[in-house]
Structure formats: structure tokens, C-alpha cells
Amino acid sequence: MGEMPLSGPYARLRDEIVEYVDSELAWMPDDAPGDSPIEKLFYVALLSYCRFGGGPLHRVAIPCKDWPLDQILAAEDPGRIVLVPQAQLDGWRVDFLIYAWEFGRLSGRPQWRRLIVECDGHNFHERTKEQAAKDRGRDREFQMRGYTILRFTGSELYANPLKCAGEVGDWIQMGW
């Protein structure tokens, strides 16, 4: 059974929603941070997911010179997600570092949880056994320090970037 075409006020509402979303998408940066097209794609997908489809995830802070990371984290704002593209951690660069509030489900006290997201294009990851071993060793090192790590292949990101962003959204909401 097909859907009935929208008419009257519903058609106007649909047009208004499309116009609103189109105007809101003007924020999409042409120069999204990232070293590769898949990192840029994930960045835009995650911000779009948070803004339009992530329910309570709509408050995203991105550190900058005027609003540094330590200042954002000191605010202990439970409704905020902190997204750090191209983060430096102990001599390593990670594609994305994400902080999300945890309401003490695991620790007994509220605190920030940390997620590393890696966007693994074939040209830079798992091309050789040595590169795969290096990536896995680094993952284990960060996991031992309390970070969660999610890796997405370039194929996953190109096929469905919003699904990848949704998996990050699922991780964020696990602590709520």
C-alpha cells in the first residue's frame, strides 16, 4: 500500500522542514578538519547526527583558542559532548577524541568518559602486517589508560557515514 501524498497544511509543513534543514546545513564546513576525506566525512556526519538525529546529543563543544579543552571539561556539563578532531595524546595523533559525561553507572561518581575514533583508510591502516600490529598495540595502550576505541573502515564510512556516527551516539548514551 502506497503512502498518500501530502497536501494542504502537511505539504506546507514538509516544505518548511526541508527549508529549515537546508538552511541549517549551511553550517557544514568545506574545510572540515581531518587528514583524509573519510575523516572529514565522519566529522560532518557526526555533527549532523548530533544536530538532527541524535536526540539529546545536540550540544557539541569543539575546543578552540577562545574556549580551550581544559575550560570545557572543567565545566562538568552533563549535557555536552566534547569533540576534539586531530587530538594529540602522549605523542600520538588520533583522528577524533570525544568526551561524554558518565553519570556514575560504572564509577559511582560522575565523570568524563573518553572515546577515540579512528577512521581507517586502506592507504594508511592495515596495508601491512606491521601497520596493523602498530595500530593494535596503540589501541591496547590507550585501552589500558581507560579510553574506549572505535575504528571505522573507509568502506564503512563511505557506505553509511550516519550509521558510523550513530554508533558513536550509542556509546555516548551508554553513560546516561
Given a contact cutoff of 8 angstroms between Cβ atoms, the answer to whether 96 and 116 are in contact is yes
Is the whole model's pTM more than 0.85, yes or no? no
pLDDT at 140: 95
CB-neighbour burial class of residue 151 (10 A; exposed 0-12, middle 13-18, buried 19+): middle
In the sheet that holds 60-61, the strands lie side by side as 60-61, 81-89, 92-102, 111-120, 148-153
pLDDT in tens, 21-30: 778 777 666 6
Residue 6 predicted with pLDDT over 90: no
Residue 77 predicted with pLDDT over 60: yes
pLDDT in tens, 96-149: 999 998 876 666 677 899 999 999 886 655 568 888 888 899 999 999 999 999
Strands (E) in 103-167, as ranges, are 111-120, 148-153
pLDDT at 107: 60
Higher pLDDT, 84 or 28: 84
